[in-house]
Chain A
């Protein structure tokens, strides 16, 4: 009986170990030619020939694993519109936050599992992915259409392709703040009038990077200091924070996406919301990034190009994000726009420290 017990135990352990070893030793998926090589070859072709080759290749691949950092319906509408244009390609889409998407992508690649063909990531969140050298360089003529004021989003090394932009700006509840009292500039948020009335999310690299590009390091630190002295509300969640402000919980969004209030106002004009256009608006782009080890390089390239097509850009405008080849859906032309891409890690680390020192994520 002892023999039998031992055998059972040993057999179980052996089976388990074999399972693990088989798993570990499983062949990794590899493409026949590297994505970058394919893109280099494509770049040598004429525009029409290139487009033809791209579509043919994508049709043969027939699928694409795409991680979108837009969420919910608008992300699905984006994919549906692409699939409608290219019905032979089936897109498997996951929608994740930009940082989560980068995190998961890195995890997959580090373990040799090439499960994601491409991602849409905010450029300020790209630094970590670029450091890992996981991105395919993709030169595309589609970027020619990008308007002058947004050309700063383009990467000279073609590691990403910008296709829309997002904004950080100041807005306020018009029931609580009159137009005359409203802040006119970023430093106005330090005024005693707004003590305990201005809300922020906890420190975010993308926001701090924008402040740095707008004001420089020292002035940014001064601004953080005076904001800290004005007892800001620090609360996680952009959407909920805006909703709380619109409900009357507090008066001003010291930093938030501006489109959400406009979206609410379009559905219900009574929503007490106004954007401060006199203060510069911080603008960073969302970009298409192709996995160096993509299994579907043609389909990935095709979606990247399509995102900058008229259809793609119209869709961006329809959901109140910032298109980069056509006019913005609600922001006036004369706003002061501060565009930026990646700010060095040293600088953002120092600014995060300054945030902790003056505003503190919690005390």
Chain B
């Protein structure tokens, strides 16, 4: 039995001042950050009055919004499209991400470190730029790849990005880094002795991987599938820019077009988010069922744990080539398009004439304007670092209580931490806007309001990153420390946090970068002084040009690379070192 259980159960003075206080604090924070906005949304879905209207606070409810939202055939057609789209994109991205994670984290494939770095670099590039990059690469009329295919084979309009498979392709590549992050954190935590035992028993490397390693990382696999699926259901840029033209409606575009009129029908928008809530909760329940015997996945024990890599022999060159192709598709190709476009006054296919027009004017104009482009970058840096750190602290606590304690009500933490995944950004942003308009704390127009919304927005993702890692840590470590007289806080700091480093770092980086890219919430809550980098991206997308947008994307990319490297260096001072054998 974990030490914390013993102490909590005994009700000692120390347990209340440590784990107990932390549990209550977490619960209060989650109630404030999640439950209140949620209640506001559920309440709104049951009202035809808007927040602020006299009837809004009255205790009379209606299902009118539900009948309107779900009573039309288009909604169910879009839902079916969404299901196909999400299932296929989840499968592809999971396979791609897991392959890269395994290559980087568990094998001696040459250039593995670079493969990992470049894969993560993809997360930094804003989704809208990636999507437009793929339009420029594979549009039937102007796609650069079609241009080359026609030149070589004579076949014109071979690729069509404006199609269901075009959507799946771009969305799958978009999510490979998330799958990579989730799976690499789990793979790094696999106990090598189990694999050694398998090898001693005569199993080959592949057999060991399938029969020993894969079952161990089941929680991570389930978490990855869960997040990838939900993220695809929630995806907006790809369905809007590609699916819109291909006339393939999905859930998010249906919601967008049904609520796009002014004033937005918040009752209807909130009602739509209820579907996502039900879906997310159903999937979470399934996830919990799948990993209910958490002790089976505890691979990090007190016995000399050091992750290490598998020697692939000559196969390492094959895995190297495959992973390089994959990262080129995931990151390299769109990055090159972005770089090329950023050096042009306006985008045109790569010809000699176009190359003669290369200019740095887009960079010069952006870098010369502190208040327009650099201040928002600074704001995003503060928001990214701040919200990522707060989120990771919260989810580390949540994971600890859910996985390592038997405190009554601990599952509520997991539920509250994960529930916001059901909220589309536009609904969450609006809930925060309404909430802080109704409760006049002095946060409107400040970075705090955006940061608070980000914490709620990204907690579910970070929670799954850390939960899977936490599940793999054996409770005997904490028990041993408790026997040696370690306090709750000390154990958390000295034992769990270092062992959780892969998951924490992956989650931190993911949250930070996504906080940089997050658009919808930022747009809803931005005013003159708290504009973020994503607001500028939207601004350049809607009013500037793709070339300027690309230049801004490159500047942001460089900044985040530097930031990520610094954090990586700092984090290496903590945690455990891996060994290559």
Contacts and interface: CB of A to CB of B under 8 A. Distances in A.
A191 interface: no
B438 A72 contact: no
Interface string B251-295: 001000100111110000000000000000000000000000000
Given A111-B52, A235-B244, A362 B11 contact: no
A216 interface: no
B113 interface: no
Given A1-B13, A72-B372, A113-B437, A238 B542 contact: yes
A247 B347 contact: yes
A107 B546 contact: no
Interface string B338-355: 000000011111000000
Contacts of A318: none
Contact of B437 (A111, A237, A239, A249): A111
B581 interface: no
Given A107-B433, A110-B51, A250 B257 contact: no
A111 B51 contact: yes
A93 interface: yes
Nearest to A102: B262
B545 A239 contact: yes
A230 to B, nearest CB: 15
A243 B50 CA distance: 38
A23 interface: yes
Contacts of B528: 92-94
Given A115-B444, A128-B262, A239-B545, A107 B21 contact: no
A362 B248 contact: yes
A72 B248 CA distance: 33
B54 to A, nearest CB: 10
A360 B247 contact: yes
Interface string A225-240: 0000000011111111
Contact of B434 (A2, A107, A125, A233): A107
B247 A363 contact: yes
Contact of B142 (A2, A102, A111, A244): A244
Pick the most buried of B11, B24, B545: most chain A CB atoms within 10 A of its CB.
B545
B108 to A, nearest CB: 45
A128 B263 contact: yes
B345 A268 contact: yes
B545 A243 contact: yes
A107 B429 CA distance: 13
Interface residues of B, number: 66
B544 A72 contact: yes
A44 interface: no
Contacts of A109: 52
A71 B264 contact: no
A20 B441 CA distance: 9
Contact of B20 (A5, A12, A113, A239): A5
B561 to A, nearest CB: 26
A72 B263 CA distance: 24
Contacts, number: 151
Given A5-B16, A92-B528, A247-B348, A202 B544 contact: no
B51 A237 contact: no
Contacts of A60: none
A191 to B, nearest CB: 19
Contacts of A102: 262-263
Nearest to A113: B437
A267 B365 CA distance: 14
Contacts of A106: 263
Contacts of B141: 248-250
A99 interface: yes
Contact of B346 (A99, A237, A246): A246
A243 B438 contact: no
Given A240-B132, A244-B142, A271-B346, A23 B441 contact: yes
A246 B344 CA distance: 14
Given A125-B262, A249-B139, A76 B439 contact: no
B541 interface: yes
Contacts of A238: 542
A361 B78 CA distance: 12
A95 to B, nearest CB: 8
B244 A243 contact: no
B253 A362 contact: yes
A72 to B, nearest CB: 5
B142 A247 contact: yes
Contacts of B437: 107-108, 111, 113
A73 interface: yes
Contact of A243 (B16, B257, B264, B346): B346
Contacts of B439: 19-20, 23-24
B542 A97 contact: yes
A237 B542 contact: yes
Contacts of B50: 110
A330 interface: no
Contact of B245 (A108, A233, A268): A233
A83 interface: no
A264 interface: yes
A13 to B, nearest CB: 8
A155 B541 CA distance: 33
Contacts of A76: 371-372
A100 B523 contact: yes
Interface string A300-339: 0000000000000000000000000000000000000000
Contacts of B444: 113, 115
Nearest to A28: B440
Given A24-B438, A110-B52, A239-B543, A94 B527 contact: yes
A104 interface: yes
A187 interface: no
B135 interface: yes
Interface of B: 11, 13, 16, 20-21, 24, 28, 31-32, 50-53, 132, 135-136, 139, 141-142, 240-241, 243-245, 247-249, 253, 257, 260-264, 345-349, 369, 371-372, 433-434, 437-441, 444-445, 523-524, 526-529, 536, 539-546
Given A107-B437, A237-B542, 20 more contacts: A5-B20, A19-B441, A26-B440, A71-B543, A72-B372, A72-B544, A76-B371, A102-B262, A109-B52, A110-B51, A113-B444, A125-B262, A238-B542, A244-B142, A247-B136, A248-B141, A249-B139, A250-B141, A268-B345, A362-B247
List 9 tightest A-B contacts by C-beta distance, closest first.
A110-B52, A23-B439, A111-B437, A362-B249, A99-B262, A94-B527, A26-B440, A71-B543, A362-B247
22 contacts: A1-B16, A5-B20, A71-B539, A72-B372, A72-B536, A94-B526, A94-B528, A103-B263, A107-B434, A110-B53, A111-B52, A125-B262, A128-B262, A128-B263, A235-B245, A239-B542, A239-B543, A240-B546, A248-B142, A267-B345, A268-B346, A363-B249
